[in-house]
Structure 1
Amino acid sequence: MRSEPTGPEARLWYHLRAKRLGGVKFSQQVLIGRYTVDFAARSQKLVIELDGDSHAGNERYDAARTAWLEAQGFRVLRFSNADVMGNEPAVLQIILDALGTAPLPGPLPKGEREKDDE
């Protein structure tokens, strides 16, 4: 975990904190399983990730991480730092739209998954 947010993280956090966006509680730098996500609204099972230069070349890792989070029932929205800095209103609208839809269903209990595999 980082102690200091990047500029885009701080800018987005301004809108997400204190239930400012859609009345939903978001947390910053949230540990989910073995992954730390940038922002999460646990009640909505929504994760928001900001991708900066450090994500270049890590597309396979990011895809595996997203797949794991989705398997746990989370929706993952991924934005570039440039999106936040250059088109903040659109980013906020996409997040609001996601908050207005039902969360993904949680993973099936182990016994239920086995029945589906037969």
Structure 2
Amino acid sequence: MVDRARSLRREATEAERALWRLLSRYRPSFTRQLVIDRYIVDLACRAAKLAVEFDGGQHHEQVAYDAERTAVLEGLGWKVIRLWNSDVLANPEGAAEYILSEAAECLGGTHPQPLPSREGRVRRPRFG
């Protein structure tokens, strides 16, 4: 399974690449093509136990398989969200924002990327 996950990482879809460019710098970190039980998840945040699946046209025919897969992953404590490739490509920033908000919710409402502590702060002289 690990070898298959590695090959899927090398052969990522355009939607996966677009979101990876946006999400790879955030914390908690995300992982591509993570092996969970007998499945390989497209994108995952281990800390939040959030699994993200990117669905293309082939998923219209495998609804039962996707439902079973989601049930197994949720039984293991993972939250599964699905995004259509076409939606991700049409609005990658919106998809990234949605994934980050879901990760924050899974972590109990914490912000997935800490806010800068001194941004916009004007420094006053100490003496004088």
Higher Cα radius of gyration: 2
The one-letter amino acid of 1:33's match is: D
Q: Which has the higher helix share?
A: 1
Q: Which runs of 4+ in 1 moved over 6 A?
A: none
TM-score (structure 2 length as normaliser)? 0.73
> Mapping of 1:1-118 within 5 angstroms?
1=4, 2=8, 3-17=10-24, 20-21=25-26, 23-102=27-106
Q: Give the unaligned 5+ runs of structure 1.
A: 105-118
Q: Distance in 1 between matches of 2:46 and 2:62?
A: 25
Give the number of the structure with larger relative contact order, counting CA–CA contacts within 8 Å between residues 6 or more apart.
2
Per the alignment, in what secondary structure is the counterpart of residue 106 of structure 2? Answer: coil
Say if 1:46 and 1:75, in contact at 8 Å, map to a contact too.
yes
Say if 2:51 and 2:80, in contact at 8 Å, map to a contact too.
yes
What is the aligned residue count?
101
Same amino acid, percent of matched pairs: 39
Say if 2:70 and 2:80, in contact at 8 Å, map to a contact too.
yes
TM-score (structure 1 length as normaliser)? 0.78
Aligned-residue RMSD, C-alpha: 1.6
Q: Give the unaligned 5+ runs of structure 2.
A: 109-128
